Chains A and B, each alone.
Chain A
Amino acid sequence: MAWMAWTLPTAIFFVIIAFTLITFTILAIKYPETPRIGVLRIETTRGDRLFITLLGSAFINLAWLGLVSASQPYALIVCLIYAAAVFRWV
């Protein structure tokens, strides 16, 4: 695995992503859901909302890095608010 040049932060990052995916898979099996239509006027399931959250969070982090000079972890707070909004209204 040395060729993959692992670091602790990136390992934690991927473990969290994997853990989230597993959690959502279990949720989907245990509590099947029907898609709903939110503010984007598109049908979304929990999985779709997770995807929108993750992709959006990546862009929020990049925007924070490029435009705001404050410390990067604060961007995660914005991401959390964004995630809550996506799961509530999208």
Chain B
Amino acid sequence: MEKTVNQKAWFLILPVLVLVAFSAVIPLMTVVNYSVQDTFGSNKFFWVGLEWFSDILSSDRMWDALGRQITFSTIILAIEVPMGVFVALNMPKKGFWASVCLVLMSLPLLIPWNVVGTIWQVFARVDIGLLGYSLDKLGVSYNYTQDSFAAWATVIVMDVWHWTSLVALLAYAGLQSIPDAYYQAAKIDQASRWKVFRFIELPKIMGVLMIAILLRFMDSFMIYTEPFVVTGGGPGNSTTFLSIDLVKMALGQFDLGPAAAFSIMYYLVILLVSWVFYTVMVNLQKRDGA
């Protein structure tokens, strides 16, 4: 039987729509307006057409930042997703230790970004930081203010420390929702641990895992505060990700036009990738439901 659809319920989202209009739609329209004009301040604008878009499209600076951004997102996803699933698989299912694990896992998620940045900035310093000092004493050449590899390693390890638990918690919630009957059936068939994971657990947590990947992708693609606090985008430009570059352009150099063109392209890329993820996710759920 078909369910009755009451489209009047859409009116209930009107307040949210107004809020989003003020917080996102109107600013976005302003950005579009800025992107085709030049300004020297005092709210005077001059029409330049698509010049800023051409400039940005042909600037190595943007492509380099985009390359670094994609590399960063790919690396952290490749580490955080398998690690999160692995942690979730090994967490106790119930009892006292399950609660302890859940609390411990949530702790990094509760720390504000700038504090995470500051923690790691100090932690990794060679003179006073525990990590930097220990590595130095062990004879490892590590200085994130001078060496790009060390800077990258620090930023990636920091992100993994901060966000792996999000993936783990989501995967854990997915695992908890698998009925026991599946495991019992697997036991009767004498399925190996790998096969239980491959044919029961993985398909069942695919939905939440896609949400985790989507969230982690979007967050890492927009990352600003943590690397900014730790490395300030350096050494040189080696950890200057898209948002750091964008802020430098918009607020540091006050190039509002190019920055607006830059942010529109940035937004389009995020929109595209999010749409792909979302479509895959919805279609996976439909296929599972069918």
Instruction: Spell out A's residues near B (CB within 8 Å).
Output: 2-7, 9-10, 13-14, 29, 42-43, 51, 55, 58-59, 62, 65-66, 72
Contact with A along B9-43 (1 / 0, CB 8 A): 00000000000000000100110111011010001
In addition to A2-B43, A10-B33, 4 A-B residue pairs with Cβ atoms within 8 Å of each other are A4-B26, A13-B32, A62-B268, A65-B54
Task: Say yes or no: A72 contacts B279, CB within 8 Å.
Answer: no
Contacts of B26 in A (CB 8 A): 4
Using CB atoms, name the residue of chain A closest to B264.
A58
Using CB atoms, name the residue of chain A closest to B275.
A55
Task: Say yes or no: B37 contacts A5, CB within 8 Å.
Answer: yes
Q: Is chain A's binding surface mostly helix, strand, loop or mixed?
A: helix
Contacts of B50 in A (CB 8 A): 65, 72
* A34→B239 CA distance, assembly (Å): 48
Knowing A55-B268, A55-B272, A62-B57 are in contact, say whether A3-B43 is a contact too (CB < 8 A).
Answer: yes
Contacts of A42 in B (CB 8 A): 279, 283
* A59→B265 CA distance, assembly (Å): 9
Task: Say yes or no: B58 contacts A29, CB within 8 Å.
Answer: no
* A59→B39 CA distance, assembly (Å): 26
Task: Say yes or no: B29 contacts A4, CB within 8 Å.
Answer: yes
| Nearest Cβ on chain A to B2's Cβ, whole angstroms | 11
* A72→B43 CA distance, assembly (Å): 28
Using CB atoms, name the residue of chain A closest to B283.
A42
User: Which residues of B175-203 are within 8 A (CB) of A?
Assistant: none
* A42→B26 CA distance, assembly (Å): 32
Knowing A4-B33, A66-B57 are in contact, say whether A55-B271 is a contact too (CB < 8 A).
Answer: yes
B97 interfacial contact with A, CB 8 Å: no
Task: Say yes or no: A43 contacts B286, CB within 8 Å.
Answer: yes
Knowing A55-B271, A58-B268, A59-B272 are in contact, say whether A5-B34 is a contact too (CB < 8 A).
Answer: yes
* A9→B47 CA distance, assembly (Å): 10
Task: Say yes or no: B36 contacts A9, CB within 8 Å.
Answer: yes
Within the complex, which residue of A2, A7, A58, A65 is in contact with B47, where a contact is CB–CB below 8 Å? A7
